[in-house]
Amino acid sequence: MPKNFSNRLASQDAGLIATLNPTSVTTAEISADTDAGGASVSRNLVHIPVELIDPNPLAPREVYTPEMISARAKDLRDQGQHDPIHVIRNPEYPGRYIICDGWTRVQACTTHKVLPALLAQVHELSLQESAWFGYEQNEGRAQHTDFDRAMFYEKMIAQGETAAELARRAKLPRAMMTFYRAYKKLPDEILDLVRERPLKFSARVAYALHQLHEAAGIRRTLTVATKFAEEDQTVRWLSNQVQAAIHPKQHKVVPTTKHIKYSNGYYKQREDAFELSIEVEADKREAFAQALEALLETVAVKAAPTDQKTAIAAHESPTSASTAADIKVS
DNA sequence: AGATTATTCCACTGTTGCAC
DNA sequence: GTGCAACAGTGGAATAATCT
């Protein structure tokens, strides 16, 4: 909008609104602007009582904090209305309007009773196109956050637009839609944090938290997200947390090696293999064998019958006169 | 095959530390 | 205090991988 037009509206407003009947729509003067090609463009400007303006179900912005609304109320009180808000006619309720752009000002007026009516430009657009209009207006404003964008994209997808089409229209690389769509996959507990600090939780952050949620669950994600916000950690820090959850460090397995020598034998352990060779005196042999066999029952897997026979036969062989117990468990 | 998702790379910006 | 280089952080583009 040309600057001189804004200034003209601001100076007109105070007088016009002072005389307004707040319960009826007043047609303002049809202003004429000059477009880029030099053609005259008429604008359908009306004063609309704020209570006749409904929210847009496809609104491009999600977060309206009380601070934002009271700041806008103060601006309106101090400076009046610089620019008209933008509306379409409510197709379901004749005489009512749906906001395209300017919902913060409408809320400032309804909540803080600043102005009874706002100057509005009425557009002939579909609901979906009116939402895109608001989106494009918001893109030029600092308060428009990734979370707002993401929720808007979700609404458009619900209306049947594809992610590819959204990316094209929003002038974003198609792959960026992955980051934006991550918000929708986040659990409510995380989204509450996002709503509190929407600027801190960019689309990249949302995507990282989604990955963390998938890998480590809600508790860990909530802990990390809270720390990220409260300690003002960097996105890189967050990425590191996510990577650590997805690819936990493989602790190097130190081979367990044990080798104990006795005067009557030895005991060796190397990782999962146990080896024992020990001579047992005749009077202790039976008790030792029973205790050892009981212990073996807890880990040993029975071999096939043929193997068992072979093993027993070998042990009972007259050539095996040793009194030593030779055991290998692996 | 085309769409979607995931990962990596690169350029830009802001911050910090150092020499002068 | 100023100028500069090095570095970190970030957003976005490009590319690879996966899914439908």
**pLDDT value, residue A12:** 34
CB atoms closer than 10 angstroms to residue A25: 18
Output the distance from A112 CA to C16 C1' rounded to whole Å. 53
**pLDDT value, residue A222:** 83
Above 90 in pLDDT, residue A108?
A: yes
Q: Using the CA of A174, which nucleotide's C1' is the nearest one?
A: B4
Instruction: Supply the DSSP string of A85-122, one letter for each residue.
Output: EEEEE-SSSTT-EEEEE-HHHHHHHHHH---SEEEEEE
pLDDT digits (tens, 9 = 90+) for A128-168: 888 888 877 776 565 667 777 778 877 777 776 777 677 76
Output the distance from A236 CA to C8 C1' rounded to whole Å. 9
CB atoms closer than 10 angstroms to residue A170: 18
**Mean per-residue pLDDT for A192-215?**
76
- Tokens 């103060």 locate to A74
Nearest to A141 by CA among A193, A102, A180, A196: A102
Is the shortest CB-to-strand distance from A240 to strand B under 7 Å? no
Above 80 in pLDDT, residue A320?
A: no
With a CB cutoff of 8 Å and minimum separation 6, the contacts of A304 are none
Output the distance from A159 CA to B2 C1' rounded to whole Å. 22
- Our separate counts of H helices and E strands in chain A read 12, 12
Output the distance from A194 CA to C9 C1' rounded to whole Å. 20
Q: Is the pLDDT higher at A117 or at A230?
A: A117
Output the distance from A248 CA to B14 C1' rounded to whole Å. 32
**pLDDT value, residue A122:** 93
Strand C, CB < 7 A, residues 185-204 of A: 202, 204
Rounded-to-integer distance, Cα A108 and Cα A264, Å: 92
Output the distance from A217 CA to C17 C1' rounded to whole Å. 24
Domains of chain A are 1-142 (3.90.1530.10), 145-251 (1.10.10), 254-297+325-330 (no CATH)
Is the shortest CB-to-strand distance from A164 to strand B under 7 Å? yes
pTM for this one?
A: 0.57
Nearest to A323 by CA among A270, A275, A281: A281
Nucleotides on chain B within 7 angstroms of protein Cβ: 3-7
Instruction: Supply the DSSP string of A185-218, one letter for each residue.
Output: HS-HHHHHHHHHSTTTS-HHHHHHHHHHHHHHHH
pLDDT digits (tens, 9 = 90+) for A19-51: 333 445 655 444 434 333 333 334 688 999 999
- Tokens 């809600």 locate to A218
Is the shortest CB-to-strand distance from A236 to strand C under 7 Å? yes
**pLDDT value, residue A145:** 74
CB atoms closer than 10 angstroms to residue A66: 9
Above 70 in pLDDT, residue A210?
A: yes
